[in-house]
Amino acid sequence: MATPKPNAAPLTLAELIAQATGTSVLHCYQCGRCAAGCPQNQPGAMEISPTRVMRLLQLEAAFVDDPARADGFARRALQSPTPWLCLGCQACTTRCPQGVDIAGAMDVLRGQALQRGLAAKDRRSGDIRTFHQQFLAKALRRGRIEELPLILRYKLARGHWRQDAALGPAMLRRGKLKLKNSHSADTRQVLKAIDDLRRSPRGGP
């Protein structure tokens, strides 16, 4: 994996994505098939479409000789809620005629947004980040995920106590929520996977 030389210009987001996914967002020709197939790209959901995110990454790369302007395009992509709303369903990646791993690009953008302190600050994005963090914390601590403690910790962190509360009793009756915790003593593989991810261009959780 290529690394920037001392005093060299930092890698663009497009270059980081290419390292992580093996595909280049520069190959995107804005056909819009990713946006058309995205289940989250609905009115009132995504602020900007995946297609527009790809364009911002291309513009950062195009204006690399104008750092201030390039940084503006990069910030626009990193501060957008769109990467956080991505489901990782791979519909965009599958539909791309250029073979760009758009879902993988969104993963890189999430990691970079966190590293640079530019993650979207809207409530939905914050909810998703908190849930991911609580999920990973549980997995690293016990090796397994218990739904009830996970949801309780998430709601404690975000304050959504009433949201979906009416579903709890019905889920308990149907055995969808278990009160007895399970445990996996060996979490070494999970820890190694997280450490590998932190070292990758995607940035890790």
Run means of pLDDT, 10 residues per run, the chain, 205 residues: 57 95 96 94 87 97 96 97 93 96 96 93 90 82 74 80 75 73 66 73 53
Alpha-carbon span 175 to 147, nearest angstrom: 11
Domain for residue 205, yes or no? no
Domain of 79, in residue numbers: 13-119
Same domain? 17 vs 111: yes
β strands within the chain, DSSP E: none
Domain for residue 188, yes or no? yes
**Who's near 1: CB < 8 A, 6+ residues apart?**
19, 201
Report the pLDDT value the prediction gives residue 186, as an integer from 0 to 100.
66
Domain for residue 1, yes or no? no
The residue written with tokens 């947004």 in the block is 113
Q: Are 56 and 7 in contact (CB under 8 A)?
A: no
Same domain? 110 vs 25: yes
Question: Which residue, of 89, 119, 149, is where some domain finishes?
Answer: 119
Same domain? 134 vs 75: no
Q: How many separate domains does the chain show?
A: 2
What the block records as the tokens of 66 is 């104008």
Question: Which residue, of 119, 134, 162, is where some domain finishes?
Answer: 119
Question: Which residue, of 85, 119, 153, is where some domain finishes?
Answer: 119
Same domain? 45 vs 140: no
pTM of the model: 0.77
Report the pLDDT value the prediction gives residue 119, as an integer from 0 to 100.
93
Report the pLDDT value the prediction gives residue 164, as an integer from 0 to 100.
74
Report the pLDDT value the prediction gives residue 1, as an integer from 0 to 100.
47
Closest CA relative to residue 101, chosen from 40, 38, 23, 28: 23
